[in-house]
Every structure is written in structure tokens, then in C-alpha cells.
Amino acid sequence: MPGIFITGTDTDAGKTITTLLLAHGLKERGVDVIPYKPVQSGAEWKDGEWKAPDVEMYHLLPDIQEEKLYTYLFKKASSPHLAAEEEGAAIDEEAIIEEIKERSSRPKLLLTEGAGGLYVPLNRKGRCLIDVMEEVSLPVVIAARTGLGTINHTMLTIEAIKQRKLPIAGLVFSSTSPGEKDMEEDNMKVIYELSRIPIIGHIPFIEDLPNSLKHDRYRSEIVKDWHFNRLMEGIKNGYKAFV
């Protein structure tokens, strides 16, 4: 089964939590999924080894048995190309492309989480994450903030994806701070009116959200009103329903 690519309008736009909640909601609806993070920077030392924090979040899901859900892991919390250079390594984008294609050929629906935004450089050869996305040609879910500045950031992300002729499956918004509710709701409304990209769901601001998400019932509560029907219809019909 192919998959979906989750990208963000920026760093800390909610990609990992969006990936986790999409996986949770789809699994609740009978879709067998597996998350995957091609490049993880900002590794954390835990239990005597370096671990990928985003991948650790994936393991909150039941039945996620695969040990390695990433291709590259680097210690420095920075753009992937710089994090790789710090360790005398280099990222081969072709290896990532082949890994995504291979994983997409398996029975489970692949949810691939990007790093940062679209134009995060992978190496010094001018290759960015959006180039990988274009090569694998998976429909895209955009993780976006709800706060000030998100209209411009999100619309630019949408336009860049459309220029590469990639289908957009929908938007997931995250309230990353206790902002002005009226403004945030209007931001989401305006982005939809300008783009006509469907909003799949909204992640509210919650203190210590990562710890709350450890509980299955809490994840279910967040996604209970999300619009999974169109997403599942698109998956069923070969993504023809997507923009």
C-alpha cells in the first residue's frame, strides 16, 4: 500500500504529533499503518544508546513492532545537512527515496514524516526535502500552526507543493501556545477560503501534550471529530479525490 507524506510549514509546526494522531485515528478505523521518519536530528541519549525522539513518540501506538523507523539519526538539533556534517556523514537522498518506495510497497499504509519544512536542505548538492517528496509522489498532509503568521506560511507551503504537482490530502492545525482563540479560528477559516484545502483536524493547545498523548483514550478524544472519511476515500481510490 502506498502512503502519505506529512510535512510542516516550519519546525515545531506539529508534524510528529500530527503523524501520531493520524496513525491512531486511521488504526481506529481499521487501516493498518506504519510511521517512518527518514531523517531525525536532535537524537537523545536514553537507556545507553542514541534514540530518535520522534520515533519514540511513534512507539506509543500499539502493534508498532519495527525497531528502526528511520534511516538517518544525528545528534545535533539542526538542519539535517549540518547535523550530518557534524558527524562526518552525508545524507544520500536517493537512499531515502528508495527506502520510502520500498516501504510503500508493503501491506501497511506508510506515514512518512518530514524534517522541518519543505526546503530543508539534505546535503550541499542543492537537494532539499521537497525534492524527495516530488520523487516519491505521495499525497501530502500539511501540519500548520494556528497562530500569528500562519496564513502566509501555510499558503506559501501549499503553493510550493502545487508547483511540484503533488496532491494535497489536507491540513492539520496545531495550537502550539495559549493564543487568541478567535484569531486562531479565523486563521484556519481564511486558509481554507484561500486554498480550498480541506481541514482534517485541529490539535488544541494542552499543557504537557506529549505526556497526555501517552494515553490511548486521550489520543482518541483529540481525533474523534477529525475528518478521516475523505482521507480514507482517497486512500481507497488511489488518491484521485485529493487536490
Domain ranges of the chain: 3-42+52-236
The proportion of the chain whose per-residue pLDDT surpasses 70, expressed as a percent, equals: 96
Indicate the average pLDDT of the chain: 93
User: Three-state SS across the chain?
Assistant: CCEEEEEECCCCCCHHHHHHHHHHHHHHCCCCEEEEEEEECCCEEECCEEECHHHHHHCCCCCCCCCCCEEEECCCCCCHHHHHHHCCCCCCHHHHHHHHHHHHCCCCEEEEECCCCCCCECCCCCCEHHHHHHHHCCCEEEEEECCCCHHHHHHHHHHHHHHCCCCEEEEEEECCCCCCHHHHHHHHHHHHHHHCCCEEEEECCCCCHHHHCCCHHHHHHHHCCCCHHHHHHHHHCCCCCCC
How does pLDDT run across 48-60, given as a tens digit for each residue?
A: 999 999 999 999 9
pLDDT value at 65 more than 80: no
Name the class of domain 3-42+52-236.
alpha beta
**At how many degrees (to 10) do helices 150-163 and 129-136 cross?**
50
pLDDT value at 84 more than 80: yes
Residue 37 falls in the annotated catalytic set: yes
The reported pLDDT for the residue numbered 12 is 87
Q: Which of 37, 101, 108, 224 is catalytic?
A: 37
How does pLDDT run across 86-142, given as a tens digit for each residue?
A: 999 999 999 999 999 999 999 999 999 999 999 999 999 999 999 999 999 999 999
The reported pLDDT for the residue numbered 238 is 67
Average pLDDT over residues 184-201: 97
